[in-house]
Amino acid sequence: MEFILEKVTHKDLDAILKLGESVNEEHVVPLLNAEGQQAIRIAFKSDIDKVKDPEIYSVIKASADNDIIGYIGWREENYIGHLYVKTDYHGFGVAKQLVEAMIKMSGAGVIRVKASIYALGFYRKVGFKAMSEELSVNSIRYVPMELNVES
């Protein structure tokens, strides 16, 4: 499968918001209790406003046939806050290539993420290591993970 990786532009912001929200609803929200479902929806909407600010977030999109199929957004040079790929494109290496592009662009030696329960397998597969057991804040379940790029 061929796709293009490039920086997100202002005109892409609505599309990435819809993509992230859709993937979140399909894969992450069902794994949480009612309190966690409400909390993650609020957290996503709050954070997406920060994603729109290039002073806070750097964002790369993956496109195929002029359609945005995924994106990664990071802040503080090494913290992945958003990594979403349309369900139809799972398993084609889109997320892995987005992470690799983020590593190159950020220049960070260590990449951090609070991996959703849904995404644990992916992050392990690309080399992230759990830094603790599963945690929960406002019933949002996640595992803090790191990827040491320099090793």
Q: 93 is written with which tokens? A: 């290496």
Q: 5 is written with which tokens? A: 């990786």
Burial of 132 (0-12, 13-18, 19+ CB in 10 A): exposed
> What is the spatial distance between Cα 89 and Cα 93, in angstroms, rounded to a whole number?
8
Q: 127 is written with which tokens? A: 């080399």
Taking the complete model, does pTM exceed 0.85, yes or no?
Answer: yes
Does domain 4-107 fall under CATH 3.40.630.30? My reply is yes
Residue 8 CA, chain-centre distance (Å), reads: 14
Delimit the domains of the chain by residue range. 4-107
pLDDT tens-digit series, residues 28-56: 999 999 999 999 999 998 888 899 898 99
pLDDT tens-digit series, residues 95-144: 999 999 999 999 999 999 999 999 999 999 999 999 999 999 999 999 99
DSSP state letter for 25: I
